[in-house]
Structure 1
Amino acid sequence: MMAGRSVTKADRHLDTLPKLLAHNAREFPDETALREKTFGIWVSQTWSQYQDNVRRIALGLTSLGFRKGDTVGIIGDNRPDWVAAEIATHACGGISLGLYRDLMESELGYLVNYAESRFVFAEDEEQVDKFLTLDDEIPSVEWIIYEDPRGMRKYDDPRLMSLEELRKRGDELHAADPRLYERMADETDGDALAILCTTSGTTSHPKLAMISGRRLINHCHNYLSVDPKGPDDEYVSVLQLPWIMEQLYVFGFALISRMKVNFVEDQETTMSDMREIGPTFLLLAPRVWEQIAADVRARMMDSSWIKRKLYDFFMKIGLAAFEKGRVSRLATFFLYNALKDRIGLSKVRSAATGGAALGPDTFKFFLAMGVPLRQLYGQTETLGAYTIHEPRDVNFDTVGVAFNEEIEIRVDKPDPQGVGEIVTRHANMFMGYYKNEEATKGDLRDGWMHSGDAGYFDANGHLVVIDRISDLAEMSGNRRYSPQFIENKLKFSPFIAEAVILGNKRDYLAAMICVRYSIVSKWAEKNRISFTTYTDLSSRKEVYDLIYSEVEKINDTLPEAQRIRKFVLLYKELDPDDGELTRTRKVRRGVIAEKYGEIIDTIYSDQDHVDIDTTITFQDGTKQRIQTTIAVRKVGDVPESRALTAAE
């Protein structure tokens, strides 16, 4: 392997992703850059092979008449070809638009039309079908390029082309002009619009944040100054590539530091694949960390009596030591080392969570285990995270401090407790919202990005994020509370997958809860409780009793005024496809209040149940009628409540 020169912040001429890739391919041609697990085998790609793939795709696009400024939509699982398609787009002077793989046709059509994409990359038949179903509803699309040819022979749409055919066209162009791609990459402009990144869209259609190559790369340099990476680091790309943080890691971090990026074979094999790689760096969304913690506790439920007792014993010792700022060698030797190895975290030197708040109980679980977990905070508009915990100063109630002095953070219009809106400014933020100057002016004022989040600085200068300002609520009597804080506590339970806290303008708090089907169904089978579907399982009295005990445990950790007094178990899981969650799994509270208004009104009445007769639509278009009865369960003494509608 050649001993080449690594990229530093001083390399200001390397201001686009194609230029960075060309540098690595020239300096470190035989060094492993990417790995993908295919048919059970890890297949590596060197920097030279990575560059060749990008060149073939870029020249193939050029042969189809690609023009500077064209927008390319990319949809599918995290794969090397996904990554290559984005960099190839930039090499052609184009703009990439990452599309979440689970988008419904209507959402996909909206984004493709909004960006006026001429070209789209679709991984397989499932994704191609979405575009073909939209047909003339997406008039800007001229080419649909697919990677996986299985099932594609039955289509004769003239817009379709296989990725392999595109590469062959690129090879022909390369043979005619061997230095064409090199010139294209050299001519890319670091200040030109390169990436359209969707915002979370908690209240409406997502906006498209405009990002240049230079801003992405410079922000990654700042991030790497507080969380360094190198060629010996291994990263497993789990979160969807359209998300801003995955853009930072898979593109910025990897191309600057040469951190190896690994792609799992399938979503279902993520944990086993991750264990095989042994990542040194990991970013997971809060829901994934919660799922891992829940799975550990679920596996212990299935183990023998003696193993459960030993697990509880050493976990108690470990947590007690952690609370005192120490590490229990006993718990580490007998429990934590084996546990970390089992879940693929034994080699992790840096771990992060971001995108939403992670419950403090889940945070403690991993920190006590020795996983160096840190919280990040940021928005798409700020190019993702701009705060992080320092390695020796992790406080799970906060999101840490700014990366460096270049990043300014303030709290606007604080109340007497110091809580106000979090506002930030740094040199590498987004360029504005695509085709939406009004929204840009609304959120970006005098160079300051108004986050819409409520927070404050603690005594140590750490930023504390409470919730979205629009989501902060008040019970009657001006008693303020954060729904998200209580929801995160509930989700620490292995039996609870999702929760929505109610109580705005009410006399007490209540909860709508979705059980974690994979674990509760296993618990039911073990306890000989018969059931047929999720709806049937969630309506069982035994399951209500189980969740009742979990809610009681959470109530013991909450102030008296913020305790949950009633709850219901929903007949279905909350789903982004139904508009109830964003694609990054944040609750859309307005949709919930409208959709489940009848249930909410019943909770705050004297009735002890609500009859449900509704139809749900699955992703494949099939429909199912659900007829069931949802019980309203009281927890402790319930204050008398005045009549109030869900809309209020």
Structure 2
Amino acid sequence: MSTTFPRLLLEHAAKRPQAPAVREKEYGIWQTLTWSQLAHLVRELAAGLALAGLQRGQHIVVVGANRPRLSASMIAAQSLGAVPVPLYQDAAGAEYAFPITNAEVAFAIVEDQEQVDKLLELRETCPRLERIWFDDPRGMRNYDEPGLASLDTLIERGRAFCAEQPGWFEEQVKQTQPDDVAAMFFTSGTTGNPKGVVHTHFTLTDRARAGASFDNLGNDEEVLAYLPPAWIGQNIFSYAQWLVCGYVVNCPESASTVMIDLKEIGPTYYFAPPSVFEGLLTSVMIRMEDAGAIKRWLFHRFMAVARRVGPIRMDGGTVGFTDRLLYALGNLCIYGPLRNTLGLSRVRVAYTAGEAIGPDLFSFYRAIGVNLKQLYGSTETAVFVCMQPDNAVRADTVGVPCEGVELQVTDSGEILIRSPGLLKGYYKNDAATGEVLSPEGWYRTGDAGFLDASGQLKIIDRVKDVGRLQGGPYDGAMFAPKYVENKLKFFPYIKEAVAFGDRRDRVCAFINVDFNAVGNWAERHNLPYAGYTDLAQKPEVYELIRDCVEKVNADLSNDDKLCGSQVTRFLVLHKELDADDGELTRTRKVRRGYIGEKYTVLVDAMYSGKESQYIETQVKFEDGRTGMVAADLKIGDAKTFSPVQKAA
């Protein structure tokens, strides 16, 4: 049944007024808002916004971490028929200029002083931005700016108005229809200015329902909301599905307390990009390497059992009595305590998306009893396109089409989607909308892939990124950079990778090492270092990375289509790739083209056969200052392997 987010809120408040809706941790204590309390807060915020002049169809920017009053502000804006536009809280102030100007934003609700400062700096660039409200008053006492006020002030005005007009809010909610615009999400902008993806209440609630139905989600789920709300992945899990299902969303105290809060809450429904699961596993392996000999032996012994038995159990298969006994003992001694340490002891369903996840990483979590699955979708599709059913989970696919989704694969290998969750369009960009939406209603994903024999979708790379080698022994061979990069990132020592090779005679790559994992490895090998740049250029680290690269090459040699994508030369960058330096998007996607231009001298050095190359790079620090990082980078050669001949 078609509905809107404000109507869903009122339904929960009427049916389950005292049930917890959202929790926030403040000063170490969890504070709870019931559905009834949340509805009252939204009513007062909506009235305050209406009195301030927010009108139907207008955009309002929301910037901050996951906070109950920011989520309530979004529902309040939607109640008036206005359109919330969440932006990344860690973005530099200048990055807000385009979305605010493009969407003609006059109102903004932000979390704290940091976000206020960013928006105040933009007022000359964005003269339409008249009103800014902040949630957290710390540090704001001496601010005296026109149009700047606290959310408490807005709520107080709204409370007085609601007392005078008791039926006003419900009337506003009735006027908002399912086909009205509910929110706008800006894309990461890997190739230029971000695009505003327009979604209606119907598209978002329909996909939220489809995902909930797929995994039998109910109002008894617990979710931890710790990823940026501006990312539609977080938004669909902790906003759209929250209001559709009525489960409890928990907001951590801060980014630094997420792991503690994760263990305290013990979510039953968990979502994270592969990088988070990689980080969790890396921390576990670092701790195990520091453990005593007996503990390490027990861990590796029982993990061998888990890898053999766990995935079969998770997929509903049967195992022998001895293996069942060993797994039960391992669960008591290793797997159970490990799940508890990770905060995943109560997880019933865990999803990852956004990037490919390594098969070893994937099997590790399933081996210890975490029902980790993959899904496929994007901002334009409201996330839920393909999902992995229980008992049919594989590391190399992203699942089957979920309810209402149709898939087509073109002759060029591009995946086309038709779904009730497709975007209404790109805001003020009819040309871009026409490029991705066909008259027949098909959305061009830009992803290359295919449906395998079991009906599951397998993604290879972005269509525009799939290239060809020119010259050399693999002349004309396919080159899929993202596929190669993901294989490299499957190793815990490699945090990011950037592969080059299109219209070249061979493949070369930049590597970013994982500072924590490699730093721990260096300490265990008595290798001193003085920071990232020094560690990255150690000969021993190059040998460590060379081993990873050559393992990827050996794996690629088994693929008759991508055997030419083996990495022949590599270097370890002197700095970590950073969104503040323009090298990554805010969702941590590599901006390969920008990196190739920025580090042209390094790319040329690899392809010209040099053994090293000096470079100086400007970097931006967290406090806004800039500095220079310089290093003489070594360039390493990697062994490649002849293609494996498949048996006829």
Normalised by the size of structure 1, how large is the TM-score?
Answer: 0.92
Residue 210 in structure 1 maps to residue 193 in structure 2 = no
Which residue of 24, 48, 53 maps to 1:36? 24
Aligned match of 1:605 in 589, 602, 608? Answer: 608
The equivalent position to 2:36 in structure 1, one of 38, 41, 48, is 48
Residue number in structure 2 paired with 1:314: 302
Alignment of 1:157 onto 2:149: no
What letter is aligned with 1:555? Answer: N
What's the counterpart of residue 290 of structure 1? 278
Q: Deviations over 1:320-356 (max 9, x none)?
A: 3357766654244242222111101111111111122
Q: Indicate the residue corresponding to 2:346 in structure 1.
A: 347
Structure 1 stretches of 4+ with a deviation exceeding 4 A read 322-328
The equivalent of 2:408 in structure 1 is 410
Deviations 1:236-290 (A, max 9, x none): 1122111222222222211121111111111122122111111111110121112
Q: How much does 1:95 deviate?
A: 0.6
The SS at the match of 2:424 is coil
> Once the 2 structures are TM-superposed, how far is the Cα of residue 637 of structure 1 from its aligned partner?
6.3
* C-alpha contact 2:25 2:251 (8 A) present in aligned 1: yes
In structure 1, distance between residues paired with 2:569 and 2:287: 29
1:449 pairs with 2:443: yes
1:572 matched to 2:607? The reply is no
Of residues 514, 520, 523, the one that matches 1:522 is 520
CA RMSD of the aligned region, Å? Answer: 1.9
- Answering whether residue 293 of structure 2 is matched by residue 300 of structure 1, we say no
Q: Residue 360 of structure 1 contacts residue 489 of structure 1 at CA under 8 Å; is this kept in 2?
A: no
| Map of 1:644 onto structure 2 | none
Q: How does 1:617-628 map to 2 (within 5 A)?
A: 617-628=620-631
Sort the Cα spacing of 1:300 and 1:558 in 2 relative to 1 into closer, same or farther, 3 A. Answer: farther
SS of corresponding position for 1:136:
coil
| Residue type at the aligned position of 1:72 | I
1:377 shift after superposition:
0.7
Q: Deviations over 1:65-119 (max 9, x none)?
A: 2221111000011111121111011112101101011111221111111111111
What is the match of residue 366 of structure 1?
A: 365
- State the AA in 1 paired with 2:493: F
Write the distance in 2 (CA, Å) between the matches of 1:246 and 1:606. 44
Contact 1:297–1:494 (8 Å) recurs in 2: no
Larger mean Cα displacement after TM superposition, 76-85 or 520-529: 520-529
Deviates more, 1:40-49 or 1:618-627: 618-627
Q: Where does residue 465 of structure 1 map in the other structure?
A: 459
What letter matches 2:576 in structure 1? E
- The one-letter code of the counterpart of 1:401 is V
SS in structure 2 of the partner of residue 298 of structure 1:
helix
Which residue of the partner structure matches residue 646 of structure 2?
A: none
Residue 16 of structure 1: which of 4, 28, 38 is its match?
Answer: 4
C-alpha displacement of 1:521 = 2.5
Kept after mapping to 1: 8 A contact 2:478/2:564: no
- Write the deviation string for residues 184-241 of structure 1: whole angstroms up to 9, x where unpaired: 2222222111211112322111111111112211222222221221122111112211
Of 584, 587, 592, the residue aligned with 1:589 is: 592
Taking a change above 3 Å as real, the CA distance of residues 35 and 607 of structure 1, as seen in their structure-2 partners, is same
Q: 1:410 corresponds to which letter in structure 2?
A: Q
The answer to whether the 8 Å contact 2:23/2:250 transfers is yes
Contact 2:207/2:383 (<8 A) preserved:
no
Shift of 1:623: 1.2
Identity of aligned pairs, percent? 40
Instruction: Give the match for residue 246 of structure 1.
Output: 234
Whole-Å Cα distance in 2 between the matches of residues 502 and 604 of structure 1?
Answer: 10
Gaps of 5+ in 1: 1-8, 415-419, 640-648
Whole-angstrom CA distance in 1 between matches of 2:511 and 2:152: 47
Q: Which moved more, 1:144-153 or 1:291-300?
A: 291-300
Sort the Cα spacing of 1:245 and 1:323 in 2 relative to 1 into closer, same or farther, 3 A: closer
Match of 1:438 among 431, 436, 449: 431
- State how far apart, in whole Å, the 1-side matches of 2:301 and 2:469 are: 40
The count of residues paired between Structure 1 and Structure 2 equals 621
Q: CA deviation at 1:489?
A: 2.4
558-567 or 569-578, which moves further after superposition?
A: 558-567
In structure 2, C-alpha distance between the alignment counterparts of 1:314 and 1:298, rounded to whole Å: 17
**AA at the equivalent of 1:484:** K
State the match for 1:492 in structure 2: 490
Match of 2:55 in 1: 67
Q: Aligned to 2:464, what secondary structure does the other structure show? A: coil
Superposed counterparts of 1:192-231, under 5 Å: 192-231=180-219
SS of 2:487 mapped into structure 1: helix
Stretch deviating more after TM superposition (496-505 or 521-530): 521-530
Q: Tell me whether 529-538 or 433-442 shows the greater mean CA deviation.
A: 529-538
Q: How much does 1:129 deviate?
A: 0.8
CA contact (8 A) 1:284 1:353 kept: yes
Partner of 1:377: 376
Contact kept? 1:491, 1:497, Cα under 8 Å:
yes
Q: Give a deviation string over 1:368-417, Cα, whole Å, max 9, x none.
A: 2221111111121111121101111112211111112x211100124xxx
One-letter amino acid of the counterpart of residue 369, structure 2: G
Which residue, 154, 166, 171 being the options, matches 2:154? 166
Shift of 1:160: 0.6
Q: Aligned partners of 2:480 and 2:596: how far apart in 1? A: 16
Task: Judge conservation of contact 1:142–1:159 (CA < 8 Å) in 2.
Answer: yes
Q: Which amino acid aligns with 1:456?
A: F
> 1:30 aligns to what SS in structure 2?
coil
> TM-score, normalized by length of structure 2?
0.92
Structure 1 position 127, deviation (Å):
0.8
